[in-house]
Structure 1
Amino acid sequence: MSEGREKIAAVVVTFNRKLLLKECLDSLFAQSRPLDAVYVIDNRSTDGTYEHLVDRGLIRPEADSRGTIRTVRSVPIPGRHDVQIDVHYVRLPMNSGGAGGFHEGVTQAMAGGFDWLWLMDDDVLVAPDALAVLLEKKNALEAAGDKPFLLNSLVLARGQDDENRLAFPLQELDGRGDPKVGVYHWRLTEIQHLVKDGLYRWVCPFNGTFVPARVVREIGPPNPDFFIWGDEKDFLWRAARRCDLYTAVESRVYHPPARDAGFDWRQYYNIRNMLVLNRNFRYARLRNAKLIFRSLARGLRHGPWGLKLVLRAVRDGLAGRLGRRDDLGP
């Protein structure tokens, strides 16, 4: 590492998707500006993720691989044997959800003294110049002023013929700097007129999110109590109070397109967490009233269990009770 070069670590959270994780790691290893480290946070996968990483030589085998694992190994970047990368692997004692995984990964990377953290799920593919573009925009913003900022790669839909299709919609800001209610853009062409100097003023968090350590020190790591769904929005809103948020549209990552998750136990977390998060917005009571009405109507279509799930989510959400629940099954 050259003198004065900023240290950058990617944080990848995974659970039972070892083949997607392999593709994600391969794309990170292929960056034109090499990363200094990758943190793989494994939410207690049961599909052979640990064994796969051992077989690839990315981590060392443990004498006792049954419990929690924390290990680091410096390995040559595949295809670039003159460049080393530190691979940190943490297998958690239980599935803590994306929220717990990102909390652990960000906490560990901050303890490692890294200057910037690049956060993503295991189903993200990263273009080879994605990090280099982020650094180019980072340098330009730093030269223009001292206000802290957070960057994000543009999250395009993976496996689609339409190269302008976004994996998740980007919201548009109003004159106060808040996202406009009900305004979502699903294609790059819809936001191009709002892009200035290659930057768009809003982000899709935890899919190529490039966070400076100085911001994490101010706002803290992701909140593990969200378990799934909502931890990224909570982190985003905490960051928005401290810094500007930009998507660097020429820094590209690819994620499977958003789809309807259906109605199962996970909807408890979706409803509960959104009720908590809506407190950050204007018209919070109106937003929550709409959310409760829609959720009750949807829950009723799934019989007594669906209604009970929604009512519990509403009760806990309005009371601000977070955390993992282990008794949500039908």
Structure 2
Amino acid sequence: MSAESQPQAEGTPAPRHPLDVAIVVVTYKRTKLLRVLLDSFTELKTAPSWIVIVDNASHDDTGEIVESYRERLGKRADGRDRLVYAPQEENTGGAGGFSAGTKIAYDLGAEWLWLMDDDVAVLPEAIERLTPWTDRFKVIQGRRYNYDGSPFYWQFDFNVPLGIPNPVAKDDFSAQDWLPMNTVCFEGGLFHRDVVRQVGLPDPRFFIYWDDTVYGYLTSKVTTPALVNTFILRRTREIKRLDLGTRKLNGTSDMVRFHIMRNRGYMARYFRLHGDYNRFVFGFGTLLTLAKEVIRIVTVDHSFKSGLSALFRGMRGARKIYRDRSWKPMPPLD
């Protein structure tokens, strides 16, 4: 079966109605990339129910650019504009933006919520390719192309005890063209509203990094998330990276490095809540994460002094989060 096929569950008819999906985009001061994404929305063969653009307090011409697409993105059958522009009062990071956007899309009543960053473009047939899978799964991750057109390898298998992705998991799809996963990526993750209701909104306290990983882990507690062998997105931003053959190590910033380590505190809290936390195993996973980031600093980013400082500040922040007795998880939506 090819990557572009649209398999059905045995005995299940094809959906007779267009997918009721709200696209949720988080953007921050990247208007050139945002234009490419908005252009791709106008080329979708099936129009989404809603397009929610969360502007993380860019304070530039983002709002003007979004509004310039309002007419091109059209109206719903009920006469309302398909585009919803949601400027935020402050930058709450990708995590905060997706939390706000998910709440908006949920309150609009969309059956499916499709989350993505602003540095991708959707393929014209993306909704048609995703639709057949919605008969079988309630959390769906499609595939994407790298900036250079090669297939992106996404680490769909998360080692929960260690708290790290399995870097050697093979995305060899079976004859059914899907793989079970226990994590998601907010770069094309598709969620049924029932799952969002049970799990709650993405946790904005992550700010950036691990937020989608943990959200996917939480959804795996109530359903079976699926990585499906069909391409729906392409990346539109080139990233500095080290080619390791079958895998690639991307460059990053000190701000991201800080949150990579700090947010393991939130991860540990959620794992402990669900009985999946062992301090010694998770601690070893933290050391492995630290080692990976040091390698990234040395081989890709070449920011040794500031990079190490960010990592150790993050580790101190993680300990503070883990010891915070007032911490509570995100509540379900009633």
Tell me if both proteins adopt one fold, taking TM over 0.5 as the criterion: yes
Structure 1 residues 257 and 154: alpha-carbon distance in aligned structure 2, compared to 1, 3 A threshold:
farther
Give the aligned partner of residue 187 of structure 2: 207
In 1, Cα distance between equivalents of 2:321 and 2:201: 19
**Which of 282, 285, 289 does residue 284 from structure 1 map onto?**
282
Any stretches of 5+ residues in structure 2 without a counterpart?
1-15, 242-249, 324-334
Deviation, structure 1 residue 267: 1.3
1:106 paired with 2:108, answer no
Conserved? CA contact 1:13–1:98, under 8 Å: yes
Matched residue, 1:132: 128
Contact 1:36–1:85 (Cα < 8 Å) also in 2: no
Say whether residues 1:232 and 2:212 are aligned partners: yes
CA–CA distance in 1 between the matches of 2:319 and 2:284? 13
Q: Aligned AA for 2:155?
A: L
CA distance in structure 2 between the partners assigned to 1:253 and 1:5 by the alignment:
19
> How far does residue 18 in structure 1 lie from its aligned partner after superposition?
1.3
Give deviations 1:38-82, integer Å, cap 9, x for gaps. 00000111341112223x252xxxxxxxxxxxxxxxx4536x99x
**Residue equivalent to 1:313:** 314
Question: Match of 2:92?
Answer: 96
CA distance in 1, matches of 2:130, 2:73: 21
- Residue 274 of structure 1 corresponds to which residue in structure 2? 264
* Residue 24 of structure 1, aligned match among 33, 37, 45: 37
| Pairwise CA distance, 1:261 | 2.9
Residues 292 and 154 of structure 1: CA distance in aligned 2, closer, same or farther (over 3 Å): closer
Quote how far apart the aligned CAs of 1:86 are: 1.4
Deviations 1:208-232 (A, max 9, x none): 1110000000001111001111111
Task: Please give the residue correspondences for 1:115-154 in structure 2 after superposition, counting only pairs within 5 Å.
Answer: 115-139=111-135, 141=136, 149-154=138-143
The answer to whether residue 222 in structure 2 is matched with residue 222 in structure 1 is no
Is 1:15 the counterpart of 2:28 in the alignment? yes
User: Shift of residue 297 of structure 1?
Assistant: 8.3
Contact 1:226 1:273 in 2 (8 A): yes
Query: Aligned pair in 2 of structure 1 residues 19, 321: CA closer, same or farther (>3 Å)?
Result: farther
User: Higher strand proportion, which one?
Assistant: 1
In the TM superposition, 1:156-305 aligns within 5 A as 156-160=145-149, 162=150, 165-166=151-152, 168-172=153-157, 181-185=166-170, 191-192=171-172, 194-202=173-181, 204-255=184-235, 256=237, 259=241, 260-277=250-267, 279=271, 283-292=281-290, 305=306
How many residues align? The count is 284
Output the CA distance in 2 between the equivalents of 1:297 and 1:19: 31
Tell me the distance in 2 between the aligned counterparts of 1:173 and 1:297: 21
Say if 1:91 and 1:183 are closer, same or farther in 2 by CA, change over 3 A.
same
Contact kept? 2:23, 2:115, Cα under 8 Å: yes
Larger mean CA deviation between 241-250 and 287-296 belongs to 287-296
* In 2, Cα distance between equivalents of 1:129 and 1:293: 40
* Superposition deviation, residue 195 in structure 1: 3.1
Of 123-132 and 45-54, more deviation after overlay is shown by 45-54
Q: For 1:169 and 1:22, locate their aligned partners in 2 and report how far apart those are by CA, in whole Å.
A: 25
Identity %: 23
Gaps of 5+ in 1: 59-74, 142-147, 186-190, 323-330
Please say if residues 265 and 322 of structure 2, whose CA atoms lie closer than 8 Å, have aligned partners that are also in contact. no
Aligned-residue CA RMSD (Å): 3.5
Corresponding letter in the other structure for 1:33:
T
TM-score normalised by structure 2 residue count: 0.73
Please tell me whether the aligned partners of residues 164 and 285 of structure 2 are also in contact (alpha carbons under 8 angstroms): no
Q: Is the CA contact (8 Å cut-off) linking 2:254 and 2:310 kept in structure 1?
A: no
Distance 1:298 1:214, change over 3 A: closer
